[in-house]
Amino acid sequence: MLSSAVLVTSLLGATNAALQRVTDFGSNPTGLTMDISVPSNLSFSPGIVLALHGCGGSGSAYSRQAEYIPLSDSKGTFVVIYPSSSKDFNCWDVASTKSLTRDGGGDSNGLANMIRYTISKYSADPTKVFVTGSSSGCMMTNVLSATYPDIFAAASCYSGVAAGCLAGSPGSSPISADPRCANGQIIKTGAEWAAQVRAMYHGYNGSYPRMQTFHGTADTLVTYPNLAEQLKEWSTIHGVSFTNNNTNTPLSGYTQMVYGDGTKLVGISAQGVGHTVPVQEDQDLKWFGL
């Protein structure tokens, strides 16, 4: 247990020299931290990737787990934001009404304001804004896709849960959350999940982000049934049905589950992989079109 605590402490203290701290990105109701990496060869009208850490982590530490910075530096076509949460064991709030409501004053609100600031500051292309994350970061990826569907064009994430799975929970961390969600015991129909998504942005009739979501079959922390719930949620939102499986895709032992023509929703099942599925940066950028 002590070694785990030391590991978490060292991760939280890790810094990445490529990251710049931004303190004036706008309304920040929950006190989030924003760090950004901007390539020296930044192209005209670049894209934005928002990369969200898991519980116990930080943006800087996640930049070493989800290594988008070297790809950003080589391509010059996008900037990367690595934000940090500092409450509830540094988990993202995916439970409160504030965070599950557009501009409701929760974590999702602050993250959206980081995007709005970055679009303005770097003349970024508002049609090329993407979100990704691991564990709690994947949970927030699902929530942002529901609360700010007009901001994000696509999402790709690892080992999370459906948007709304923790709605009403006392918290969002392994210590504070309703355990039924992570245990895969919150089972709903696609229509029920979709109703929760639509309630997060009342009156919205536009399109929702394209979704790619990975999950390991051996995950004992955020169990494998949560993949099926995410796929029910987003297949209903996108109006697509399961089409086919592509085995050993994108890696040996991984199965890509295609919905519709595969442009709006895919699930990726990682056989024998625990928590969390390792980040596949190249696959994410391919999904984003960057």
pLDDT tens-place string over residues 86-145? 999 999 999 999 999 999 999 999 999 999 999 999 999 999 999 999 999 999 999 999
Mean per-residue pLDDT over the chain, rounded: 95
Task: With beta carbons less than 8 A apart as the criterion, state whether 48 and 60 touch.
Answer: no
Angle between helices 190-199 and 136-147 (to 10 degrees): 70
Mean pLDDT of 157-175: 98
User: Does the pLDDT value for residue 45 go beyond 80?
Assistant: yes
- DSSP secondary structure code for residue 278 in this structure: P
- 3 state SS of 30: coil
pTM: 0.94
pLDDT digits (tens, 9 = 90+) for 19-33: 999 999 999 999 999
- 3 state SS of 115: helix
pLDDT band of 10, cuts 50, 70, 90 = very low
Pick left, alpha or beta for residue 100 (phi over 0 → left; psi -120 to 50 → alpha; otherwise beta).
alpha
> Residues near 92 by Cβ (< 8 Å), separated by ≥ 6?
52, 85, 99, 107, 133, 136, 137, 139, 140, 143, 172
* Tally of domains within the chain: 1
Active site amino acids: 135
Cα separation, 181 vs 187, whole angstroms: 9
Percent of the chain scoring above 90 in pLDDT: 94
> Residues near 245 by Cβ (< 8 Å), separated by ≥ 6?
255, 256, 257, 258
User: Does the pLDDT value for residue 11 go beyond 80?
Assistant: no
pLDDT digits (tens, 9 = 90+) for 207-266: 999 999 999 999 999 999 999 999 999 999 999 999 999 999 999 999 999 999 999 999
Task: With beta carbons less than 8 A apart as the criterion, state whether 222 and 183 touch.
Answer: no
pLDDT band of 173, cuts 50, 70, 90 = very high
Q: Cα-Cα-Cα-Cα dihedral of 204, 205, 206, 210, to 10°? A: 80
Mean pLDDT of 8-23: 66
Task: With beta carbons less than 8 A apart as the criterion, state whether 79 and 72 touch.
Answer: yes
Residue with the bigger pLDDT between 2 and 283: it is 283
- What is the structure's pLDDT at 15? 55
Tokens encoding 230: 């995410």
Mean pLDDT of 65-83: 99
Cα separation, 119 vs 47, whole angstroms: 9
User: Does the pLDDT value for residue 12 go beyond 50?
Assistant: no
Output the CA–CA distances (angstroms, integers) from residue 145 to 26, 90, 129, 132, 278, in the order listed.
21, 21, 11, 10, 21
Residue with the bigger pLDDT between 278 and 7: it is 278
- What is the structure's pLDDT at 124? 99
pLDDT band of 182, cuts 50, 70, 90 = very high
What is the radius of gyration, based on Cα positions, of the chain? Answer: 17
Task: With beta carbons less than 8 A apart as the criterion, state whether 157 and 130 touch.
Answer: no
- What is the structure's pLDDT at 17? 65
Tokens encoding 122: 């770097």
Give residue 188's domain range: 2-288
pLDDT band of 3, cuts 50, 70, 90 = very low
Output the CA–CA distances (angstroms, integers) from residue 169 to 29, 187, 200, in the order listed.
20, 15, 16
User: Does the pLDDT value for residue 46 go beyond 60?
Assistant: yes
CATH number at residue 109: 3.40.50.1820
